[in-house]
Amino acid sequence: MRTISTDIIIQNIKEMCIEANYKLASDVEERVRGAKLSEESILGKQILGQLSENLDIAVSDNIPICQDTGMAIIFVKIGQEVHIEGVNLEDAINEGIRQGYEEGYLRKSVVSDPLIRLNTKDNTPGIIHYEIVPGDRLELTVAPKGFGSENMSRIYMLKPSDGVNGVKQAVLETVKLAGPNACPPIVVGVGIGGSFEKSALLSKKALTRNMNQPSPKEHIRKLEEELLVEINQLGIGPGGLGGKITALGVNIETYPTHIAGLPVAINICCHVNRHVNRIL
């Protein structure tokens, strides 16, 4: 048994919320900056240039990359030999979010009830996904998610006979419908398999994966590559104003599914694809 205090968890969640909103992970940053070289549209190049400049100003002037500093999505992998000491774990995570959003000058974008819609004024609660894994470590991923792109995400319950072409069609249709709304260039997270809710969770998880680490499964890696090419042939371009660079990457996660089903979830993220990972 290894003991981890919730004080340490609060501190880390706080720092990760702030870090995620001011500095992109290197794989995402490389692709945003690199996109300008491949873009041919003049307006597209201009927009991509502004996005690079925006990343510079965020760091130099201490201003969040985007004003939508997101709802805090937290993935927690708890080693089954870890003992958590202190307050309730969920309360600790929300306390970390509360402190991070306050001390980091981040926007409070959460309402307490989806219909009554009163702002909770501290960006809590976060959305927390737990997983119990072997070992004595605690792995945290903080992924603040903006809703301009979240609103353009979709789930399809395809038939097994729809196969890989059906999956491709679903992804391309979703990207087309998102058009300029999701702040292209986008990152596309796809979850294939599982059940209705599992596919959605996989698609979110896919967004947190390093884009330079393709799927270890050969046929899925191929699908990721083909989809990126086909999405970038749509012509939506930076800002939705035309061009070659509509997406920076496509990450796919899969899970076994039922003999009758082929769930496909597409979680769209803007170019500000934020995620910070720490292992305690």
Partner 1 sequence: MDRYITTPLTIQKVEELQAGDYVYITGTIFTARDAAHQRMYESMLQGGEIPIELQDNIIYYLGPTPEREGQVIGSAGPTTSSRMDKYTPMLLEQGLKGMIGKGKRNNEVIASMVKNKAVYFAAVGGAGALLSKKIKESKVIAYDDLGTEAIRELYVEEFPVIVVVDSQGNNLYEIVMQKC
Query: From the CB of 28, what's the least distance to partner 1, in Å?
Result: 12
Site for partner 1 in 97-126 (CB under 8 A): 105-109, 117, 119, 121
Asked whether 112 and 245 are in contact (CB, 8 A), the reply is no
Amino acid found at 133: V
Asked whether 6 and 89 are in contact (CB, 8 A), the reply is yes
| Token digits of residue 243 | 């061009």
Name residue, tokens 């309402």: 111
Question: For residues 7 and 2, what is the distance between their CA atoms, to the nearest angstrom?
Answer: 15
Site for partner 1 in 182-201 (CB under 8 A): 182-183
Query: From the CB of 14, what's the least distance to partner 1, in Å?
Result: 16
Pick between residue 53 and residue 131 the one whose CB is nearest to partner 1. Answer: 53
CA distances from 140 to 124, 132, 257, 277 (A): 17, 12, 27, 6
Pick between residue 38 and residue 50 the one whose CB is nearest to partner 1. Answer: 50
Query: From the CB of 115, what's the least distance to partner 1, in Å?
Result: 13
Query: From the CB of 231, what's the least distance to partner 1, in Å?
Result: 11
Query: From the CB of 272, what's the least distance to partner 1, in Å?
Result: 5
| Preceding amide of 125 cis, omega within 30 | yes
Return the SS3 of 227: helix
Site for partner 1 in 215-244 (CB under 8 A): 234-237, 239-242
Query: Which spans of this chain sit near partner 1 (rule: CB under 8 A)?
Result: 43, 46-47, 50-51, 53-55, 57-58, 61-69, 105-109, 117, 119, 121, 148, 151, 176, 179-183, 234-237, 239-242, 270-272
